[in-house]
Structure 1
Amino acid sequence: MSKIKKFFSRKKEEAAAFKQKLTGSGMGEGHKLNAPKPEQAAPSGSGSRKKYDAYVPPKRNELSNEARQAANAALARIDKKTSRDFNTSLSAVKAQAKRELEAERRQKEEQLASAEASASNVRCTGGENRNLACEGVFFRCPMISDEILPKAAWKAKIKDFLYQQLEEDRGLTACLIIHNCNVKEKADDCIATLIRYLENLINSPTEEKFCKIRMSNKIFSDKVRYVEGALDVLQAAGFSEVQIDGEPFLLWTREQTEEDLDLPTLVEALKNSETIPLELDRNIKVLLPSQARRVILPDDFYRLSPEEIKKEQQLRSEAIAQAQMLRTKAMREREEQRNLRMYRYALVRVKFPNGLFIQGTFNVFEKITDVFEFVQSCLADESLDFTLVATSEGKLSDEDLEKSLFDCKLIPSTLLLFRANGVSAVGQTELNYLKEELLMLVEAM
């Protein structure tokens, strides 16, 4: 079965499962009101939060000797300031992190806050040579390949992939081309028009007026003719271009319908087709304290362009100056919500007691539970019980798990402190928290 047919088969199964759930036939076995649910387990010491396994990083093979040597070499590059050879043992990495952590603590909080504020302003002033916290926002597309690419690169790759599949499954592939290669409004209008054409043929296949389409017709020209994939759908349905009285028409005959494809199936495919989903890649980074002091976000994190942001801020400043009045609490909250809506993605950094940081990229509407899953997937001991503390909001409780990063105002960037439950303060700094392969991601200074 081709990838295109697998895509629509999966969509059909999902729709059937949803329908079954609505009808109540898939609601599970009943139980007495005063009886405990059989799958309910006793709460752990940290509350009812379960262990997570939803986020699965890209699979890596077990480290070979060559890979271990490469990891050691990467860690060796961290200490370029010393002329002697760098000790790449785990204890040396921990010692380096401790030294930098102590230096960070000695730095005044006022200076750190000033540096962060300055870094945020650079984004809006369009400063050159910015020391960005990450290179951008990256995605995966399991349906096509295991590559990790920016969204623009994936759009081009998805388009190439679909056109390559066109000869094998013209009708189904063309439905996906309409959704993936056109703007949403144009695609929606085109699909609605195509469905009307095909349903007319299904209901009245002998009606002559439904068997031909004048290509100069305004509705056809505006909503179908120049939409990518639309003419391929009609060709798969059995339409072919002919000349009638010197004017171009599309004429339908049942014999020209694509093999193994009928009109009801094509209508269903048009209704169920959608953009091929991209999965946000966490773009994991492991940082030392000296590398985690500044957060400057790339343009991909913003909904607006730098010029639009600058213009909007200028208009707000002028409006406030003209108003010449104190703002109420409601006005301040509305202003804060407008600022938060500028962002598509959030940069989350988690600081471990041994001084190391991990960094990941999230959609602003992902939930706090997704952050816990991400952190747990990075731990050498994934069974370790832990809590996360937001420097601005305090400890993230079980009630916060279903809230989004947007709801908790943890955007566009946030720092969370990792705490291992049941471990003494001294033991916290001695633990090695991260998986061995993640140490390869420690960046050179």
Structure 2
Amino acid sequence: MSKIKRFFSKKKEEAAFKLRIGGGMGEGHKLNAPKQEAPSTSSRRKMDVYVPPKRNELSNEARAAANAALARIDRKDSKDFNTSLAAIKAQAKRELEAERRQKDELANSSSSVSVPSGSSASATENKNLACQGVFFRCPLIGEEVLTKKAWKAKIKEFLYQQLESERGLTACLIIQNCNVKEKADDCIATLIKYLENIIKNPDEEKFCKIRMSNKIFSEKVRYVDGALDVLYAAGFSEVQIDEEPFLLWTKEQTEEGLDLAMLVEALKNSETIQLELDRNIKVLLPSQARRVVLPDDFYRISPEEIKREQQLRAEAIESSQILKTKAMRDREEQRTLRMYRYSLIRVKFPNGLYIQGTFNVYEKIADVFEFVQSCLADESLEFNLVATSEGKFNEEDMDKTLYDCKLIPNVLLLFTVPAIPTPVAVDVNFLKEELLMLVQEM
């Protein structure tokens, strides 16, 4: 099965599945009927999301994980890796000690500042970027990791390559992926109307031809990427009638293996090809995690607008003597939070190493736990994540988004293992061995 047919087949299966489990929009009910309580999701949540461990005693899994981690560190059979690991551990330890001394000397110094790169275009800041941008994957097309802009160009190139073999279905996707949304929606609605008129009235001559100079056709169809290809696949061909260009439909011209009903369904089910956010995982030493400078991709607004926002904030500080109500402060905070599309999450381990990943601001706390869990040498290890603003996360927090918890645009979380005492945890490497090879060069 081709990638295009697989796309529509998947959409069809998803629609059928929703119909089976939900009965479409669900069962009706009277407006004055008492509300029925939603079925409990506690059992499902326990299966789907991380459940924080009990702190009562050391679990067998945690004890085994700690012993195994210490054994890996002390083992001499894999000499090259252990030498590298020892060097990383020593470097992290030295930096932690230096950091503690610096904190003692400069108690009032700031530990982390989030600054948009657009506010200062210096080359120095670009070198200090916490990451080089926001990157995505597209399972339908390939395994590359690219920026959203690069994927848009690649998706367009991919779709036009498929036109030769599957014109109708591919053209439906071109309309959705290569035009602005409003333009695509208007075009699809118009095309569906053309095709449904023919399905209902196949012998009506007026429905079998379209004047190309027609205002609706010119505004909503003719100049939209992919629209004419849909009509050609449906069986339309360009002809001259009274020296005026028309599109004339004949059944014989319909693309092989395609009928009008299938094309209408494809138009209704066509969607933008989804990209998956890549975590862009990094492993950092303490000295590399002191400053956070975010690239422009993290922001919903342009660098110029960010600069203007900072100027307004500076002016607000000048008038900070004015007593503000809680509602006024909340509005200001919400306005600031809405500036961001993505959040940079850093997790600090007891041995001083950090892991870093990129998240959408509407992803859930459970997604962060899942990300951390996937990085652990022992994925069954029970652990906690602690935020300075929120404290330790519990089961009730798992369905909250990063936006809800105000963990944007960047946040530092502390990794703790209830069953392992802190003095012991400092000497334990919790990360997978292959991830240690991602430690950034100094």
- TM-score, structure 1 as length reference: 0.84
How much has 1:95 moved relative to structure 2?
1.8
User: 1-side partners of 2:46 and 2:362: how far apart?
Assistant: 28
Look up the match of 1:341: 338
- Name the SS for the 1:129 alignment partner: helix
Q: Aligned pair 1:14/2:14, yes or no?
A: yes
Find the partner of 2:124 among 125, 129, 153.
Answer: 129
Look up the match of 2:218: 221
Question: CA contact under 8 A between 2:117 and 2:295: conserved in structure 1?
Answer: no
Look up the match of 2:145: 148
Question: CA contact under 8 A between 2:349 and 2:414: conserved in structure 1?
Answer: yes
- Name the SS for the 1:107 alignment partner: helix
Query: Cα deviations across residues 141-193 of structure 1 (Å, max 9, x unaligned)?
Result: 11111111111111111111111111111000000000111111111111111
Look up the match of 1:431: 428
- Name the SS for the 1:135 alignment partner: coil
User: 2-side partners of 1:199 and 1:329: how far apart?
Assistant: 56
How much has 1:247 moved relative to structure 2?
0.9
User: 2-side partners of 1:198 and 1:278: how far apart?
Assistant: 31
How much has 1:23 moved relative to structure 2?
2.7
Question: CA contact under 8 A between 2:210 and 2:247: conserved in structure 1?
Answer: yes
Question: CA contact under 8 A between 1:346 and 1:412: conserved in structure 2?
Answer: yes
Look up the match of 1:197: 194
Question: Which residue identity lines up with residue 14 of structure 2 in the other structure?
Answer: E
Query: Cα deviations across residues 321-365 of structure 1 (Å, max 9, x unaligned)?
Result: 789843211011111111111111100000000110000000000
**Closer/same/farther in 2, CA of residues 45 and 349 from structure 1, 3 Å limit:** closer
**Closer/same/farther in 2, CA of residues 45 and 108 from structure 1, 3 Å limit:** closer
Query: Cα deviations across residues 241-265 of structure 1 (Å, max 9, x unaligned)?
Result: 1111111111111110111111111
Look up the match of 2:29: none
User: 1-side partners of 2:201 and 2:103: how far apart?
Assistant: 79
User: 1-side partners of 2:46 and 2:117: how far apart?
Assistant: 50
Look up the match of 1:46: 54
> 5 Å matches for 1:28-427?
45-46=53-54, 88-108=83-103, 114=110, 116-117=112-113, 120=115, 123-130=118-125, 131-315=128-312, 325-427=322-424
Question: Which residue identity lines up with residue 376 of structure 1 in the other structure?
Answer: Q
User: 2-side partners of 1:389 and 1:284: how far apart?
Assistant: 20
Query: Cα deviations across residues 62-111 of structure 1 (Å, max 9, x unaligned)?
Result: xxxxxx99x86xxxxxxxxxxxxxx8342332122111111112223867
Look up the match of 2:4: 4
User: 2-side partners of 1:172 and 1:312: how far apart?
Assistant: 45
Divergent runs of 4+, >4 A: 36-41, 109-113, 315-324
User: 1-side partners of 2:131 and 2:333: how far apart?
Assistant: 25
The CA RMSD over aligned residues, in Å, is: 2.8
- TM-score, structure 2 as length reference: 0.85
User: 1-side partners of 2:138 and 2:325: how far apart?
Assistant: 46
Question: CA contact under 8 A between 1:123 and 1:296: conserved in structure 2?
Answer: no
Between 364-373 and 123-132, the greater mean CA deviation after superposition? 123-132
Question: CA contact under 8 A between 1:198 and 1:267: conserved in structure 2?
Answer: yes
**Closer/same/farther in 2, CA of residues 39 and 296 from structure 1, 3 Å limit:** closer
**Closer/same/farther in 2, CA of residues 38 and 437 from structure 1, 3 Å limit:** closer
Look up the match of 1:75: none
Question: CA contact under 8 A between 1:138 and 1:280: conserved in structure 2?
Answer: yes
How much has 1:18 moved relative to structure 2?
0.1
Look up the match of 1:60: none
User: 1-side partners of 2:403 and 2:325: how far apart?
Assistant: 22
User: 1-side partners of 2:378 and 2:348: how far apart?
Assistant: 17
Question: Which residue identity lines up with residue 4 of structure 1 in the other structure?
Answer: I
- Name the SS for the 2:380 alignment partner: coil
Q: Calculate percent identity across the aligned residue pairs.
A: 71
Query: Cα deviations across residues 260-316 of structure 1 (Å, max 9, x unaligned)?
Result: 111111111111110111110000100000000000000110111101112234356
Q: Identify unmatched segments of 5+ residues in structure 2.
A: 27-38, 56-60, 62-77
